[in-house]
Amino acid sequence: MKTEVDFFKKNIRSWYKKNNRNFSWRKTNDPWKIYLIEVLSQQTQLDRANKYYKKFILEYPNPQKMAAASRKKILKLWTGLGYNNRAIRMHESSKILSNRTFDDLYPNFMELPGVGEYTNSALLSFAYGEKVITVDTNVKRILERYFKKDNINEFIERNQKDLLSYFNSRDFNQALMDLGSKICTNRNPKCDICPLEKKCMKYINEEIIKKEPFKNSNRQKRGQIIRILINTKKVHSSELAEQLNIKENTLIKLIRGLERDGFLNISKNKYIEIKSN
């Protein structure tokens, strides 16, 4: 086991030095910047998330700036990224962080809306230099394949100390993310050019991810509603239903869902607008 771990670490380190992706937030330990990119990159490819990160960090260099912004402005800047609930949770988190710092919350950031174990560990590793493995899909896939393990979470918990000994956790985690993105991909991994190939157990179980069709889905319609409303003050439900070419009672069901999620307000006479804050 020790031989396999040593080989793994040595070759990952060497590969990463030559092949790492050069993003500005990888050079910072500012927890706000790290929090932003982690939220933006959820369910989004890193290169695309980075383009949005540049816009958001320019507009909101600190949580106080974002907390003072309107919900409509946040959603407008978010347009095109999808999964708008993330924007709402990010905005709510900025309000908490405008009064309390990350240091106040350390080491448990899960008090922030939408922050789970992965984002919490990312903040601990990238902002605070803690010896933790950020267990995302790329990291799990590589370790599963290399060490031939089914219960990978248990394996990581048991071997985290050895895997990170004499290894900066930021570099370790980012190296695995880059390797998983470029080479050890979910489907059709490029084993012939992988730095771990010689000792890898090649325990490859391609994960089949079933995705709900986006076209004509409720998720698409919800996104269309948000896009219309961020560019106008308020719209009557009948007018909005006509624009979307759907029945008004179907629209109202979608609106009620968006209202519960904190996006919109609907008046008694059925005028709809983005919630102010």
- Give the residue numbers marked as catalytic: 38
CA angle 256–40–48, rounded 5-degree value? 115
- The rounded distance, in Å, linking the Cα atoms of 192 and 198 is 10
Euclidean distance between the first and final Cα of the chain, in Å?
Answer: 54
Amino acid at residue number 78: W
Q: Is the peptide bond before 189 cis (omega within 30 degrees of 0)?
A: no
Q: Residue 274 in 3-state DSSP?
A: strand
Q: Which two tokens stand for residue 201?
A: 């157990």
Name residue 274's beta-bridge partners.
264
Inter-residue contact 159 to 203 (CB < 8 Å): no
Task: Assign residue 70 a region (left: φ > 0; alpha: ψ between -120 and 50; beta: otherwise).
Answer: beta
Q: Which two tokens stand for residue 160?
A: 């985290």
- The rounded distance, in Å, linking the Cα atoms of 50 and 44 is 10
- The rounded distance, in Å, linking the Cα atoms of 47 and 150 is 30
Q: Which two tokens stand for residue 252?
A: 């109202």
Provide the angle, in degrees to the nearest 10, between the axes of the packed helices 152-164 and 169-182.
130
Inter-residue contact 192 to 38 (CB < 8 Å): no
DSSP string, 205-226: ----------TTSHHHHHHHHH
